[in-house]
Structure 1
Amino acid sequence: MLKKFIKSMVMTTAASGLLLASTAMAADQKIAVVNFQEVMGKIPQTATVMQSLEAEFKDDRAVIAQLEKDIKYYQEKKKRDGSLMSEKEKEELDTKIGTLFQEYQAKGKEFQQKTGARQNEETNKIIALVRQAIDNIAAKEKYDFVLEQKAVVFAKPEHSITEEVVEQVSKLK
């Protein structure tokens, strides 16, 4: 029994010592936080990329919009004129609507894949610029850690380097 008590005391003392040591080591660390989402929203590169992607896929978007209009037109025509049409005309119209809808779905899926891939590609380039700016600031200011603000429960505003990152990335191309 005495042996268990001594063992638990030794373990408690060791744990307390480790806790104190880790607290002391943490006190020597220089830590900053950055709001990555805010940075991405404020830098001009994000808006530039969005505009260029919009222009790049303008024609594809127009084709999909036209297919959608055509489908709606033929559906409305069937509703409006269906009672006056023969069964063969109705079947032909249904076939036409079905074909347009399949083309619409295929082009829509292709469009989403292409735009998603391009958006990821461009976003990764911007993220590389942001990381470069964070690395530069961390090296210059001698930060041991730079954490994403979302990962931190609380940080004093003076520990945020978000505006510095925005400023530095805005100067880059």
Structure 2
Amino acid sequence: MVRKLTQLVMLATVLVASPAFADMKIAVLNYQMALLESDAAKRYAVDAEKKFGPQLTKLKSLESSAKGIQDRLVSGGDKMAQPERERLELEFKQKARDFQFQSKELNEAKAVADREMLKQLKPKLDQAVEEVIKKGGFDLVFERGAVIDVKPQYDVTRQVIERMNQLK
């Protein structure tokens, strides 16, 4: 972090000190936002919700059921007969294991789908970035996270999103 900040300060010093850099066109791009705000990424989010929604609903139901059993055990466990309490404890443990297993499976499936989406969209995003940079004649483009503050006229993120949406 300190090294990156030092590099930025040195770069800023060079840019200010050297008249050769006075005519440079500089832009800022929020790469992640450009990807996530594209039409394709929004379609993916809707499709993923449809695809993984039933599994998520099942997980929430399982969690709710386990919580209900846990609440019964906490509130009335000492008043229950030993066999009933043991049965509920066993049922709670089974539901907790099921929840962990299904949650892990869902997370893994979602991660695979996310990686596949990124693999498909990254070339389009890279092409859109390249075209916007070339069209704008920018000499230097910073990632948005590398700058503290930027005037809106230097941010080309929206242009990249629009160009990406035009690409087939």
The equivalent residue for 1:6 is none
CA radius of gyration, larger in:
1
Letter in 2 for 1:75: Q
| Percent of pairs with identical residues | 25
SS at match of 1:29: coil
The equivalent residue for 2:166 is 171
SS at match of 1:146: strand
157 and 91 in structure 1: CA distance in 2 versus 1, 3 angstrom threshold: closer
The equivalent residue for 1:98 is 93
Match of residue 159, structure 1, among 150, 154, 159: 154
Match of residue 45, structure 1, among 40, 43, 47: 40
Match of residue 141, structure 1, among 111, 136, 160: 136
164 and 95 in structure 1: CA distance in 2 versus 1, 3 angstrom threshold: same
| Runs (5+) with no aligned partner, structure 1 | 1-18
Q: Give the alignment's TM-score, normalised by structure 1.
A: 0.70
Task: Give the whole-Å Cα distance in 2 for the aligned partners of 1:92 and 1:166.
Answer: 56
| Runs (5+) with no aligned partner, structure 2 | 1-13
Letter in 1 for 2:110: T
Q: Give the alignment's TM-score, normalised by structure 2.
A: 0.72
How far does residue 66 in structure 1 lie from its aligned partner after superposition? 2.3
When the two chains are superposed, the root-mean-square deviation of aligned CA atoms in Å is 2.9
Aligned residues: 154
Once the two structures are superposed, the pairs formed by residues 20-31 of structure 1 within 5 Å of their partners are 23-31=18-26
Task: Give the whole-Å Cα distance in 2 for the aligned partners of 1:154 and 1:57.
Answer: 38
Task: Give the whole-Å Cα distance in 1 for the aligned partners of 2:76 and 2:136.
Answer: 74
137 and 91 in structure 1: CA distance in 2 versus 1, 3 angstrom threshold: same
Match of residue 64, structure 1, among 59, 69, 76: 59
Once the two structures are superposed, the pairs formed by residues 76-155 of structure 1 within 5 Å of their partners are 76-78=71-73, 82=77, 85-155=80-150
Task: Give the whole-Å Cα distance in 1 for the aligned partners of 2:101 and 2:82.
Answer: 28
How far does residue 104 in structure 1 lie from its aligned partner after superposition? 0.9
